[in-house]
Chains A and B, each alone.
Chain A
Amino acid sequence: MSSNDVMDFGQAMEQFDPVLGFEVHVELNTRSKIFSSAPNAFGDEPNTNVTALDLGLPGTLPVVNKEVVEYAIRLGVALNAQVAESCRFARKNYFYPDTPKNFQTSQYDEPIVFDGHLDVELEDGEVFRIEIERAHLEDDAGKLTHQGGSGRIQGASASLVDYNRAGVPLIEIVTRPIVGAGDRAPELARAYVTAIRDIVKAIDISDAKMEQGNVRCDANVSLMPKGSDTFGTRTETKNVNSTRAVQHAVQHEIQRQAALLAAGGTVTQETRHWHEDTRTTTSGRPKSDADDYRYFPEPDLVPVVVDREWVERVRAELPELPAVRRKRLKAEWGFSDEEFRDVVNAGVDGEIAATVEAGATPAAARKWWMGEIARLANAREVEVSALGVEPAHVVQVEELIAAKTINDKIAKQVLGHVADGEGTPKQIVEARSLAVVSDDGALTEAVDAAIADNPDVVEKIKGGKMQAIGALIGPVMKATRGQADAGRVREIVMERLGVG
């Protein structure tokens, strides 16, 4: 059998327990790099954000960016972890053309952050505690572009190297092995990476844009037969670059390993590459004796000593963490567990908070963000945040409804136009003459016409069948091209017919 065959997930879960582990690399958003004073910026001309150090020129020396240490402390506090009283850097020696000194300056035996944990909530509210073994600082590598071989490394004829990214500060967050997730392992993988992304964004140490590689996940997966507590051989799937991909990659790797083991095969300890297009992993490089990194203490840098006052100051200044914030908002908004979870799962809690902040009621904010705006985003296949509808727009829509300038139906049209970039709701109502017909004279005229046209309906109403009123409202709405307030129309009908 091929090592890429897969077993049905349910079947795999009957036979095996998955063990997960994650190494998440987070690019920090400091202004300059970790050991050099080159700008830490994305998207500039190649080899312009470099100093002599970032090219590994002879004689250059590193100096630690203080802000990077501050950020690491912030992360340590956010992950309920210990911040080392003293830590140091070490060299990890390996040759690769994107690594200008052919060693990475990392931390080995003395990481700055260790022994933390993070409570991760799945979509149905189940909470898993993930133990954080360590988080350490290191420098990022440059960027390789492969020529020929359709841009992939395999079959390329040459590669180009841009060292702008070399030396960008990274913090690598390493979990302890995660046991007991069972069939929820793929969901947990996604929830964990999402939680890390949200935390590093909330404490403002990273731009946390996964599509730009600010947050990169290596997922370790191994299986043990049901009832066993001996870990199997693990694989490391590299650089899975969206939260959804993490879920799929973990599930795929579980299914692949299960098929392999069930057929009497063995899992090779290796790195695997995730392919988003086929949702499969392929074999990378097996672990070999070339992985002798010859770590030793970085002699060009001195130890970092973090006194407890420093940690306490950072703790005191720490921005509200996502979990705490969610608990607070749920209480403030008065949503049910289910309502709130739906909001969080839809990823619009931030938008709702901003909308409430701008003056809308929580219920109204929820109605729009979970309703029409979510529908628009879905239809246009974009994230809600990328739709172009702002909290202030929602507040304006609510104001227009309250003033009876528009009704709900028109409000939905207006939001569609906002998403098209036509302006604010007020501008759109004005420009497209969408205001509700509130002139009772015009409405009465339309109602009278409807009464005259539908004598049978009138008979029914007069006979006490009040639900038949709807049959008169319809023509009125049609005559006013929907711009009438249905409630007012109903009142006028009853008035003219002398009922109710």
Chain B
Amino acid sequence: MTESFDVNAELTADQLVRLTALQMAERLAAGTTTSVELVQAHLDRIAEYDGDPRSDAASDRGVRAYLHVNTDEALAVAAEVDAIRAAGGAEAEALHPLAGVPVAVKDNIVTVGQPTTAASTMLDGWMSPYDAHVIERIRAAKLPILGKTNMDEFAMGGSTEHSAFGITRNPWDLDRVPGGSGGGSAAAVAAFLAPFALGSDTGGSIREPAAFTGTVGMKPTYGAVSRYGVIAMASSLDQVGPAARTVTDAAALQQVIGGHDRRDSTSLPDEQADFVAAAANRDLTGVKVGVIADQSTEGFDAGVKAAFDADVQALRGAGAEIVEVSCPHFDAALAAYYLIMPSEASSNLARYDGVRYGNRVVPEGGGTIEQVMAATREAGFGPEVKRRIILGTYALSAGYYDAYYGSAQKVRTLVQEDFAAAFEKVDVLLTPTAPTPAFELGAQTTDPMAMYLNDIATIPANLAGVPGLSVPGGTVDGLPYGLQLVAPAREDARLYSVGAAVEALLDERRGTPVWAQAPDLVKGAERAAAPTAGGQQ
């Protein structure tokens, strides 16, 4: 697409927002678009199509991706970038290539000047006195921040239905979920409400929403992007990464936010590779692609399985070498994950007690601090968060630690060994990102295990700390599905390289990128009159 892109073309606001982030950057550099125009086009579109997760879901058929829209600051940063470019000289030369291209941020990443809630009542209204490391990088590169996106509360969930404030809709079908926990970021990108966005991925929270919305999502190698300022769910699994419409845009955004940070002890000291250069690859010849022969596909949608098999054939046709590999312990990964994650989360979320910040709840008639803490946590946390805290408390408690947490940490070792053995034979692994396309709103909210099974393909990468990239495969029954590529630790560049080639191959086969096929959205004025439940628009 980039090849046929005319940087000087006259574009409407509607066309402008459909450009990739790098195309927007090219126009800014060429002076054919200003950053203020770009930001304003997105703000207008947000006003028109997004609505508000806090409003009544029955009557608001907007995408509801943003919890907070950062209008004034985004326009101010845009104006600053425009002024620097207009003035020319050394300062203009020194501008980051993406300066002036707007970005959206998941609401579990702390920001000065905008509220950060992690979509929890507990933190509603909380203002951070400091910026996350990735936000410092975004600010240094002068990318205007459009706002904070909706998510499952404290990133716990796979559908964004567990936001304390309200649901986000899938732009492909407003009655379906956008995936989760980063449903807001993925929906914003898919609905052209932002060219790219930041997410966080503990068990699939960037990749699964990418698969559900026909976009690209990358979970970098654990430690490749600093977690400083990212509200922790499970510290040994959490990783920040980009959501975008193209692999190259994701690569460009990771280039901005990644690299060493002395404030995160688990941050890798490595120099970052040139991800954007890696994403220029279009050649799959001789690339050894592993498909897992022995992972259970129980619960996998037949359409997704068939489409996946077709995509594997296409890769083979393009010169890739398809190799069957064995990962015998992946089936136990889900169980290990649902012990490690809640255990760490139960401890990480202990700090929300209404003493230092956040919303304190005093029981009727007052109470001791213990009673106030318990009432605060009862009122401040939603059911899914409580479920995981109690599960984690159980797994760590005296007499159960060895059986549960200890055993899970051993499974983690076995999963790592499976990956190591596989990567002796192949360059990357290929799996479907999620077992099914986006499901209907409310379909899984009453069955926690069904919801947990959505993460079955994405979890092993988190347990092992290796990078995973979801690229759009195509559509099944009009809904997107995702392909997940996994590479060894510290080989993020390899994923961008292979991912970009797979993306180009499939785009060519389809004749169009998946994200360009998303149906048109309903404008605000018409939304109010639209049917309130059931049926696709």
Contact = CB atoms under 8 A, between A and B. Distances in A.
Contact of A296 (B129, B227, B396): B396
A34 to B, nearest CB: 13
B135 to A, nearest CB: 10
A159 interface: yes
Contacts of B132: 59
Nearest to B235: A299
Contacts of B123: 58
A61 B369 CA distance: 26
A280 interface: no
Interface residues of B, number: 43
B445 interface: no
Contacts of A302: 265-266
A499 interface: no
9 contacts: A55-B356, A56-B356, A61-B263, A64-B265, A97-B353, A102-B351, A294-B346, A296-B401, A301-B265
A103 B236 CA distance: 17
Nearest to A301: B265
Contacts of B229: 59-60
B355 interface: yes
Contact of A61 (B265, B343, B353, B397): B265
A199 B122 CA distance: 47
B228 interface: yes
Contacts of B235: 299-300
Nearest to B236: A299
A428 to B, nearest CB: 56
Interface string B348-385: 00110101110000000000011001000000000000
A300 B355 contact: no
Interface residues of A, number: 29
B151 interface: no
A93 B116 CA distance: 25
A208 B347 CA distance: 33
Contacts of A61: 227-228, 263-265
B444 interface: no
A94 to B, nearest CB: 9
A97 B369 contact: yes
Contacts of A57: 110, 128-130, 356-357
Contacts of B265: 61-64, 300-302
Interface in A264-301: 292, 294-296, 299-301
B202 to A, nearest CB: 12
A59 B347 contact: no
A95 interface: yes
Interface in A84-104: 91, 93, 95, 97, 100-103
A57 B343 CA distance: 20
A56 B347 contact: no
Contacts of A161: 355
B344 interface: yes
Q: B228, B263, B355 — which one has the most chain A CB atoms within 10 A of its CB?
A: B355
Given A52-B130, A64-B265, A100 B347 contact: no
A101 B264 CA distance: 17
Interface in B240-297: 262-266
B369 to A, nearest CB: 6
B347 A58 contact: no
B118 interface: yes
Interface in B118-147: 118, 123, 126, 128-130, 132
| 10 residue pairs, one from A and one from B, having the closest CB atoms | A102-B350, A294-B396, A299-B235, A299-B236, A56-B351, A59-B229, A58-B231, A101-B351, A59-B110, A292-B398
B353 A102 contact: yes
Contacts of A62: 265
A295 B231 CA distance: 21
B156 to A, nearest CB: 14
A93 B126 CA distance: 25
